[in-house]
Structure 1
Amino acid sequence: MSSARDDGQAAERVVIRDKRKIDPSGGKTKEAETAEPDQTDAAPVEATKDSATPDGPAKKERKPSHAAPEPDEETSTVDEPAPEEKAESAPPLGAELEALRSELEERTRDLQRVTAEYANYRKRVDRDRGVQAEQATGLVISALLPVLDDLDRAREHGDLVGPFAAVAEQLVAALGKFGLTAFGEKGDPFDPTRHEAVAHRTSSEVTEPTCVEVMRRGYLLGDRLLRAALVAVADPE
């Protein structure tokens, strides 16, 4: 029985024979070389597996060979100005404010000059208008002075009575509203700027040239002499 068991164990033994041949140049067997996986072929397989997995890195896109090369930042033709250059090119705020202030002062002076010129123009126009109105009034009143002379002679002779006297008084009052005033009375000092002497005599009763007789009264229109008075003058002895 023991011999039969030994024979069965001997029959079950497995004999492994190594048929590989050793390559004297590389030191590896041909089967080992065939067994080693090709790294160049394994790389794309691993990349494919990684891209297929949901958590793996994204697959890199291959750019076509005919695509234009990306422009290099250093060789770019567009030169953006530096912040310092922009600050130098822009005018400072103080200079701009000073220019605006000077322009405002100049415009203010122009406005003041125009305002003063307009005020002077209005004054000149008002003055000229007043002078023209006074001249026109003077022309009208000058035409009525002979009528006033006749009224004075009628008054001296006592003919200015009744309704005719009332009309004469109304006419004198109406002309007085325009600034007409009469002058020239006996005993007034002789004024060559207002009196026109038509006769001269000497008298011991006067101490200075005096109007002793009035032939025609004079008239003033405001401050302007409208007509001089005709008088006889007595000089002291």
Structure 2
Amino acid sequence: MSRPDEGEEREGPVINDRRRIDPETGQVREQAKQPAPEPAPAADDGAAADLKERLDERTADLQRLQAEYANYRKRVERDRVAVREQAVGSVLGELLPILDDIGRARDHDELTGAFKSVGESLESAVGKLGLVRFGDKGEPFDPTVHEALMHSYSAEVTEPTCVDILQPGYRIGERILRPARVAVAEPAEPEAATEGTETGDE
């Protein structure tokens, strides 16, 4: 039987010996060096610019959404406060006649005993809810918070002045529940003052 020549390819399985130690010499075999991976090619300048532009757009969108959400929260909080003030104002508005009765009783020294305790407790409670009483004798007349029920002229004033408080006003926050009803005096008319002077001269 003839042996195949060394130049001829052998048929059958090919076995590669990958043992680190040579069984014949007992020496450690040198490992074949793997080729170093080639560095990845640098990104194209156009692709990098496009990526940066898209990132800037997403950042701007996020900032816009954050601003819209902040404005939404402020609007909701403002509406919530307005609804609360309106509800509280409606309840307090129904109590104003009772507060007027308590005030008149105090002016006539009739706020005594248990009635005094109840009246003061009620005034304290509505004060905690933000109800503020206004309107004092001698303050300048302001048509935005005063309602003039009586009018006269006086030489003792230099501008329209509240000379008497017929009914106090009440507000809650910036909302006027009821204007103060007052008697207003204006400076004496020049003609009246002149006539008075002429009469005195005669």
Which residue among 52, 55, 66 is the counterpart of 1:104? 55
SS in 2 for 1:109: helix
Q: In the alignment, what sits opposite 2:199?
A: none
SS in 1 for 2:81: helix
Alpha-carbon distance in structure 1 between the residues aligned to 2:153 and 2:126: 37
Which residue among 167, 184, 195 is the counterpart of 2:135? 184
Which residue among 201, 212, 218 is the counterpart of 2:169? 218
Q: In the alignment, what sits opposite 1:149?
A: 100
Which residue among 150, 153, 168 is the counterpart of 1:199? 150
Alpha-carbon distance in structure 1 between the residues aligned to 2:54 and 2:157: 74
Q: Verify: 1:234 aligned to 2:185, yes or no.
A: yes
Which residue among 134, 141, 157 is the counterpart of 2:85? 134
Aligned length: 157
SS in 1 for 2:156: coil
SS in 1 for 2:137: coil
Q: Which AA in structure 2 matches 1:144? A: L
Please identify, of 226-235 and 95-104, the stretch whose mean Cα deviation from structure 2 is larger.
95-104
Q: In the alignment, what sits opposite 1:28?
A: none
| Larger of the two Rg values belongs to structure | 1
Alpha-carbon distance in structure 2 between the residues aligned to 1:109 and 1:232: 61
Alpha-carbon distance in structure 2 between the residues aligned to 1:142 and 1:92: 73
Q: TM-score, normalised by structure 2?
A: 0.71
Within 5 Å, give how 1:1-237 maps onto structure 2. Answer: 52=2, 58=8, 93-237=44-188
Alpha-carbon distance in structure 2 between the residues aligned to 1:132 and 1:217: 25
Q: Which runs of 4+ in 1 moved over 6 A?
A: 53-56
Q: Which runs of 5+ in 2 are unaligned?
A: 10-40, 189-202
Q: Which AA in structure 1 matches 2:74? A: K
Note the C-alpha offset of 1:163: 2.0
Alpha-carbon distance in structure 1 between the residues aligned to 2:152 and 2:3: 149
Q: Which AA in structure 1 matches 2:97? A: P
Using a 3 Å threshold, how does the CA distance of structure 1 residues 54 and 143 change in structure 2: closer, same or farther? closer
SS in 1 for 2:136: coil
Q: Give aligned-pair identity as a percent.
A: 54
SS in 2 for 1:181: strand
Alpha-carbon distance in structure 2 between the residues aligned to 1:148 and 1:58: 122
Using a 3 Å threshold, how does the CA distance of structure 1 residues 52 and 131 change in structure 2: closer, same or farther? same
Q: After superposition, give the CA deviation of every residue in 1:46-74 in whole Å (9 maximum; x if it has no partner).
A: xxxxx957767649xxxxxxxxxxxxxxx
SS in 2 for 1:220: strand
Note the C-alpha offset of 1:229: 0.8
Alpha-carbon distance in structure 1 between the residues aligned to 2:162 and 2:6: 138
Note the C-alpha offset of 1:92: 5.5
Q: Which AA in structure 1 matches 2:110? A: D
